[in-house]
Structure 1
Amino acid sequence: MTLRADLFFSFRSPYSYLAVGRYRAMAEEYDLAITLRTVLPIAIRDPGILFTGNPNAGRYIFIDAARSAQMLGIAYRWPRPDPVVQNLATREIAADQPHIHRLCRMGQAATRRESGLAFADEVSKVIWSGMADDWHEGDHLAEAATRAGLNFAELDAEAQADAEALDAEIAANQAALDAAGHWGVPTLVFEGEPFFGQDRIAMARWRMEQKGLTRRHA
């Protein structure tokens, strides 16, 4: 029996990047279908919430994400450019956001094709691994889409032509995350139970094993 789960994911979240490839590998190893559900990063969705906590939070995330990647053996560097145009010193979010909405819409378009997990993994590698400066230019995203088995030109055209409907689906993803009892990413939701963070993957697998998770036959 194929088990099913949802992965709530942000293209701006370093922890989402550190999780998505491992969840993709899990879905390939086990009889498991994981649906990628893209959400807008909190810096875009609700920056007021982002900046009400301790001012040390941002610095801690920078440190912790880098060391987590090092421990896991995952290539990592803060993106150039950042998917969210923001002054990290002043925390000011730019009014013009040329990257994040495009990424989110393409991610949701990939989910429509049941290839969201692969797309998010391949694109996240381009953005976060340090493999490319100016990841938004040239053929970087197109090649990532190809590696995920998708047609980039088709995705990009759909992201522009069907932006309103895609944005509604992305908003519905956020509502579903809220209903599952969490607000952050990455969060895997399995049978209504949320597992938040890149450090809860083993726990999510443990729960699935209790529910009959089995390896795929060779």
Structure 2
Amino acid sequence: MTSAAPGPITFWFDFGSPYAWLASTQVAATARRCGRTVRWRAMLLGVIFGTTGASPLGVQPLRGDYARRDLGRVARRMGLPFATATPPSGTSLALARVFHAIALRDEALAARFAAEAFMATFAEGQALDGLAAAQCFAARLGPTAAAASADALAPAARLALRDATQEALAQGVFGAPFFVVDGEPFWGQDRLPMLEAWLREGPW
């Protein structure tokens, strides 16, 4: 009897989270080293914050200023260009709608869209805060992504985003990036080394 393949690392993210951007550049390599795949899942942190009472990092006194400095520092350490820590309002919703529209047809293509949209937003400073801009960006990935993104406001895509956010809440997700693997939660880009150790060495 063949044993079941190990489960994926579920990568929960919000397109407005700069730390989720940093994680998006690392999570695939982490998964490969551990013999896992990645399940990319876009959610809306604004809805999550309605439950937790938290607020966006960029608007928090002191902590927001620190985060902007820290993000530039971490990006330089990782060899990444860095343009902004606070994308325009509307970025999360526009990109998440397009992501889920693409994911309904091709999850791998949706993951590629997410990775490239993150880089465009935070590394290059592109404004992808409206649906038209997000759809135009998706079209760069080819005809399948372009056709799928046209359905970003269709009931199926809207429901997929809503269901994903509710699934995140049900799994205990309260921030981004957030990872769940084999039922074990890890919060934050800086927890990826611990997640890798957990998988490679065994739970402790």
TM-score category of the 2 structures, normalised to the smaller one: 0.7 to 0.9
Task: Give the SS at the match of 2:150.
Answer: helix
User: Which letter maps to 2:74?
Assistant: S
Please name the residue that 1:125 is paired with: 119
Please name the residue that 2:199 is paired with: 208
Which structure 1 residue ranges, 4+ long, deviate > 6 Å from structure 2?
Answer: none
C-alpha distance in structure 1 between counterparts of 2:181 and 2:134, whole Å: 36
Please name the residue that 2:190 is paired with: 199
C-alpha distance in structure 2 between counterparts of 1:182 and 1:140, whole Å: 28
Please list, as runs of the form range in 1=range in 2, the aligned pairs for 1:160-175 lying within 5 A after superposition: 160=153, 162=154, 164-175=155-166
- Identical-residue share of aligned pairs (%): 25
Q: Deviations over 1:69-128 (max 9, x none)?
A: 111112211179x342xxxxxxxxxxxx4x432210111233331223222111111111
What is the aligned residue count?
A: 191
Which stretch has the larger CA shift, 100-109 or 47-56?
47-56
Please name the residue that 1:49 is paired with: 54
Q: Decide whether aligned partners of structure 1 residues 167 and 197 sit closer, same or farther in structure 2, where only a CA change above 3 A counts.
A: same
C-alpha distance in structure 2 between counterparts of 1:137 and 1:109, whole Å: 12
C-alpha distance in structure 2 between counterparts of 1:43 and 1:64, whole Å: 26
Task: Give the SS at the match of 1:189.
Answer: strand
C-alpha distance in structure 1 between counterparts of 2:114 and 2:135, whole Å: 18
Could you say which structure has the higher helix fraction? 2
- Pairing partner for 2:8 from 4, 14, 22: 4
Q: Decide whether aligned partners of structure 1 residues 51 and 19 sit closer, same or farther in structure 2, where only a CA change above 3 A counts.
A: closer
Task: Give the SS at the match of 2:37.
Answer: strand
Runs of 5+ unmatched residues, structure 1: 85-96, 213-218
User: Which letter maps to 1:189?
Assistant: V
Shift of the alpha carbon at 1:57? 2.2
Task: Give the SS at the match of 2:40.
Answer: strand
Check whether the contact 2:177–2:188 (CA below 8 A) recurs between aligned residues. yes
- Pairing partner for 2:68 from 51, 56, 62: 62
User: Which letter maps to 1:110?
Assistant: I
Q: Decide whether aligned partners of structure 1 residues 204 and 117 sit closer, same or farther in structure 2, where only a CA change above 3 A counts.
A: farther
C-alpha distance in structure 1 between counterparts of 2:186 and 2:60, whole Å: 24
Shift of the alpha carbon at 1:9? 0.7
User: Which letter maps to 1:118?
Assistant: R
Q: What TM-score, normalized by structure 1, do the two folds share?
A: 0.73
Coordinate RMSD, CA, aligned: 3.2
Check whether the contact 2:138–2:146 (CA below 8 A) recurs between aligned residues. no
Is 1:32 the equivalent of 2:32? no
Shift of the alpha carbon at 1:168? 2.6
Please name the residue that 2:26 is paired with: 22
Check whether the contact 2:136–2:146 (CA below 8 A) recurs between aligned residues. no
Q: Decide whether aligned partners of structure 1 residues 25 and 187 sit closer, same or farther in structure 2, where only a CA change above 3 A counts.
A: same
Check whether the contact 1:37–1:111 (CA below 8 A) recurs between aligned residues. no
